[in-house]
Structure 1
Amino acid sequence: MENSTKTEVFSWIKSLLAVVVLVIICRQFLFTPVTVNGGSMSPTFHHNDRVMVMKMSEIEHSDMIVFEAPTSSDKHIKRVIGMPGDRLRVHNDQLYINDVLVEEPYLDKNKESSPFALTEDFEVEVPEDCLFVMGDNRLHSGDSRMYGFVPEEDVFGEVKIRFYPFSGVGIP
């Protein structure tokens, strides 16, 4: 009886170690949880929302990414507006990427509640290996309009799912 108990305990220990190693590998190379700080992505995300970031993802226009902020060691969450080589222009609160008008439905709630234009007029070309990012709460967002382009190498990954609060669980 004692030998079978030892075998059972050893089997459980091996299984638990395998799970721990798998979790560490997944967290290091595939995905990681991140907590939203501040309101720059409101109403898409709110302060203290918890999201899962996929580290191995191909970034595209309108993706929400987590990156190391150029102005501090904080992680920021913003929306990708411009990719390398893009010509961006905002005129009368309308975004044009390479002279094509782009709809931004994620701004609708903020536009309804503001008597002001959300985004000032500007024009910029995104350099190679960089991204241009902005928060959805354009009137209250520190983003590429203030601190410049985000090097692609500073991107941790793409936000894939919100898992807290439970009432907001899902794909943003």
Structure 2
Amino acid sequence: MAKKKNELVEWIKALAIAIVLAIVIRSFFFAPIVVDGQSMMPTLNHQDRMIVNKIGTKIADIKRFDIVVFHATEEKDYIKRVIGLPGDHIEYKDDTLFINGKPYEEPYLEQYKKEIIDGPLTEPFKLENLDVMNGQSTVPEGEIFVMGDNRRYSKDSRHIGTVPIEEVMGKTNFVYWPLEEVGIVE
């Protein structure tokens, strides 16, 4: 009888440790997220399931063109691509991204641009001309400028403004579901 009781106690301990570890890992290191909507197509599809890496979300750890998850509202998280870092001036003209006056290629958009037949994928704009920027010409310190890859149908920094780094949950680039799409995305 005592042996069975000991075995039960050991199982309960093991289960409790597993639950605590799962909570710690999910809270501080990695978390699953489901893509909601079409704003990151063609890179990510609606209902793709991804892992968010919560490690290293300080401004120094976020690079241009990383895909990040951030709290857009209390009840909604967004997945977008980092386009501008603090101090950057952002401009789009002729469907080309200019950062601080220098043109940048966006290889993740090339196929999408070829499929568009009725105008540019990204409408021209300058950072200081966006209503949400109130005339500010550069990305503020401690914030990032984000855009969805599906530029025509993305609610992003052009509409909601820059994103404070403390709202960023983490970076993501690994799709684990559906199985035919498992892998790293750029």
TM-score range, shorter chain: over 0.9
1:59 paired with 2:62, answer yes
- Structure 2: state its 5+ residue gaps: 128-137
Q: Deviations over 1:76-105 (max 9, x none)?
A: 100000011111121111112222221101
Matched, 1:169 2:182: yes
Where in structure 1 are there 5+ consecutive unaligned residues? none
Does residue 1:120 correspond to 2:105, yes or no? no
Q: What is the distance in 2 between the residues matched to 1:158 and 1:33?
A: 12
CA distance in 2, matches of 1:171, 1:16: 32
Structure 1 residue 159 corresponds to structure 2 residue 172: yes
TM-score with structure 1 length normalisation? Answer: 0.93
Q: CA deviation at 1:126?
A: 0.7
Matches within 5 A, 1:1-80: 2-57=1-56, 58-69=61-72, 73-80=75-82
Once the two structures are superposed, residues 114-165 of structure 1 have per-residue CA deviations (whole angstroms, 9 ceiling, x without a partner) of: 0221112222221111111000011111111112111111111111311111
Q: How big is the shift at 1:8?
A: 2.2
Is residue 133 from structure 1 mapped to residue 136 from structure 2 by the alignment?
A: no
Q: In the alignment, what sits opposite 1:92?
A: 94
* CA–CA distance in structure 1, aligned partners of residues 82 and 15 of structure 2: 39
- Percent identity among equivalent residues? 45
1:7-30 deviation line (CA, Å, top 9, x unaligned): 222222211111110000111111
**Matched residue SS, 2:122:** coil
Count of residues paired in the alignment = 170
Query: What amino acid does structure 1 have at the position aligned with 2:97?
Result: L
- TM-score w.r.t. length of structure 2: 0.86
Pairwise CA distance, 1:73:
3.2
Question: C-alpha distance in 2, partners of 1:88/1:77?
Answer: 20
